[in-house]
Structure 1
Amino acid sequence: MKKLHILFTLCIAALMLSSCEDVVDVKLDAGPPLLSVDGWLTNRAVPDTIKLAQTSPYFSNTTPQWISGAKVTLTTVSGESETLQEFSTGKFLIKNIRSIEGEKYLLRIEYDGEVYEAQTEAMRQSFLVDSVAFEYREKSLGQDEDGYLLQFFGKELKGMGDACRMKIKKNGIYLNKIEDLNYMNDEFVDSANFKKVRLFTEKPFQLKDSVTIETWSITMDAYHFYDELRIQVSNGGIFANPPANVRTNVKNVNASSAKKAVGYFGASLVSTKSGIVKE
């Protein structure tokens, strides 16, 4: 039995006139655990990793558990095949296959008597970052401290249907909060030149910070995955929409099976551009 405390607040003319708190007892049936897949194939020199876990009930207050013993294989349309090595519980290393523009990939996972598959394609690198810039801003509404905002100059290649995610590193460490999630498509910027385009981060940068922008080409389906992910993670408040499932490209080959999967497997071409915050 769980208690959900729902606070209803009515604000009129910027004054809080009334509020009440209702305690509602809700009994929720725990659904079956799902296979959670998180992995991305790239053209980087370092090996890539596929991570497998098992989801927990929403109100269980436990973290997902890594799973062990799965058989994971990766194949390409052009004929390459690799059985991935489990180097740590739930973590499988891609040693040989790399992401190549236009290549299509099939990830196959055999676990607990079920077979799951995910298909993806490595898209071209269409968003090209030429240089990194920073602009100083004082603390203000929406910015909790003084600091430097990240911007970039670059261009987008001609031809519709491109998308990318831009990952940001600060002093060698990825920024992984939902506020650091940057992604875009070329619907309104096909073949455009970019000047001082801002990338969003949870906090501004400071002098002498080393900052790297990694541009990852993604499919339009992956773009919508990130869009849905942001909406669900940011969904809150009294006007929040009902929770909805985020799309996945990982499917149980037995469509009638009750055991499903969540998460995403993708392939990207990755380019990097770095800079140091200076006055």
Structure 2
Amino acid sequence: MKKIYKSVIFIALSLILSSCEDVIDVDVNTAEPRLVIEASLDWEKGTTGSEQTIKLSMSSPYFSTDTDTSVTGALVTVTNMNSGSVYSFTDENNGSYSIDNFEPIIGNTYQLSVAYNGETYEATETLMEVSSINQINQSIEDGFDDELPEVNIYFDDPAEEENFYLVSFYEIGDMFPFFADVSDEFVNGNEVYYFFEKEEDEDSNMTPFEAGDTVEVKLYGISEQYYRFIRLLIEQYYNSGNPFASNAALIKGNCINLTNPDNYAYGYFRVTEVDIATYTFE
């Protein structure tokens, strides 16, 4: 009887487990592919800023396995609206469009033009200046956890004018940097202090800073228009998974389709000056 009983249980379990292998097709809503424009013309202090790259690709469904979404065959130019100079970017046939004679001029306005698939996209931005990083160091008493080390940066904010900044902290070896948006609303004309502290996070493989870790810090001077865009983007990104956060919404960049406004592009065209510093924890 025991053998018969065990055989019955085995057959029942086999039926249950085999039923779990049924494939269920679920229809998932997908949007039409859109052009994605990654156009960040960043002039690093101490360089000519002549070498610049713009990347074009097509958006794809979340579950798509097609990894090659690069766009080739587009005509990409940037025009200095103050001087009239036109910079034509070379198609590298891999989604990248490059140039080696770009001339960045603080305060000048630049217009991006992308002609692709019979449609023309345009965006306009002004090249913003940024202060140099005065100092970069480490501490443990200024962060959220007084037992974890943080990296600190200090820079001067120009007086009597509105200024906006983007700061990125990237530990060498990490997959992505940490971004922060900063305005001088309450610190106008003073030395600005900002810190970054890493906590233990198994989901993202994040660990606190320790001796020997090297961090690259980038300080960008950005326009108010880009500040408002990146602020929303950062807020949505870092609040993902938070049950009390507001629902994510589509954030449009500044790239407008002149031919067919409804077929807008993703991405943003920015022109910035950036100061870069590195620090190794002791």
1:62 Cα shift?
5.4
SS at match of 2:43: coil
SS at match of 1:157: coil
Asked if the contact 1:118/1:249 (under 8 Å) is kept, the reply is: yes
Structure 1 unaligned blocks of 5 or more: 1-24
Larger radius of gyration: 2
Distance 1:68 1:242, change over 3 A: same
Question: Of residues 221, 245, 248 in structure 2, which corresponds to 1:217?
Answer: 221
Distance 1:232 1:61, change over 3 A: farther
Q: Distance in 1 between the 2:29 and 2:278 partners?
A: 49
Return 267-276 or 47-56, whichever deviates more: 267-276
- Residues 76-95 of structure 1: pairs in structure 2 closer than 5 A: 76-77=80-81, 78-95=83-100
Output the TM-score relative to the length of structure 1. Answer: 0.77
Aligned residue pair count: 244
Equivalent AA in structure 1 for residue 52 of structure 2: D
Distance 1:174 1:51, change over 3 A: farther
SS at match of 1:222: helix
Question: Of residues 111, 116, 119 in structure 2, which corresponds to 1:111?
Answer: 116
Asked if the contact 1:72/1:109 (under 8 Å) is kept, the reply is: yes
1:158 aligns with 2:159: yes
1:181 Cα shift?
0.8
Asked if the contact 1:54/1:64 (under 8 Å) is kept, the reply is: no
SS at match of 2:38: strand
Asked if the contact 2:148/2:197 (under 8 Å) is kept, the reply is: no
Q: Deviations over 1:94-135 (max 9, x none)?
A: 32113221011111111111110111111121x442110112
Identity value in percent: 25
1:188 Cα shift?
1.3
1:275 aligns with 2:256: no
SS at match of 1:65: coil
Q: Distance in 1 between the 2:114 and 2:174 partners?
A: 28
1:192 aligns with 2:180: no
1:57 Cα shift?
2.7
1:216 Cα shift?
1.0
Q: Which residue of 2 aligns with 1:265?
A: 269
Distance 1:276 1:159, change over 3 A: same
- Residues 22-41 of structure 1: pairs in structure 2 closer than 5 A: 27-41=27-41
SS at match of 2:149: strand
Q: Which residue of 2 aligns with 1:249?
A: 254
Equivalent AA in structure 1 for residue 38 of structure 2: D
1:236 aligns with 2:234: no
Distance 1:108 1:61, change over 3 A: same
1:257 Cα shift?
4.6
Distance 1:200 1:223, change over 3 A: farther
Q: Deviations over 1:67-107 (max 9, x none)?
A: 11111111111121121012251111132113221011111
Q: Distance in 1 between the 2:222 and 2:175 partners?
A: 19
Asked if the contact 1:71/1:109 (under 8 Å) is kept, the reply is: yes
Q: Distance in 2 between the 1:275 and 1:42 partners?
A: 21
Asked if the contact 2:149/2:197 (under 8 Å) is kept, the reply is: no
1:65 aligns with 2:69: yes
Asked if the contact 2:122/2:258 (under 8 Å) is kept, the reply is: yes
1:55 Cα shift?
0.5
Asked if the contact 1:74/1:106 (under 8 Å) is kept, the reply is: yes
Q: Distance in 1 between the 2:145 and 2:66 partners?
A: 32
Distance 1:124 1:174, change over 3 A: farther
Equivalent AA in structure 2 for residue 264 of structure 1: Y
Equivalent AA in structure 2 for residue 194 of structure 1: V
Q: Which residue of 2 aligns with 1:11?
A: none
- CA-based RMSD of the aligned residues comes to 2.8
Equivalent AA in structure 1 for residue 111 of structure 2: L
Asked if the contact 1:135/1:148 (under 8 Å) is kept, the reply is: yes
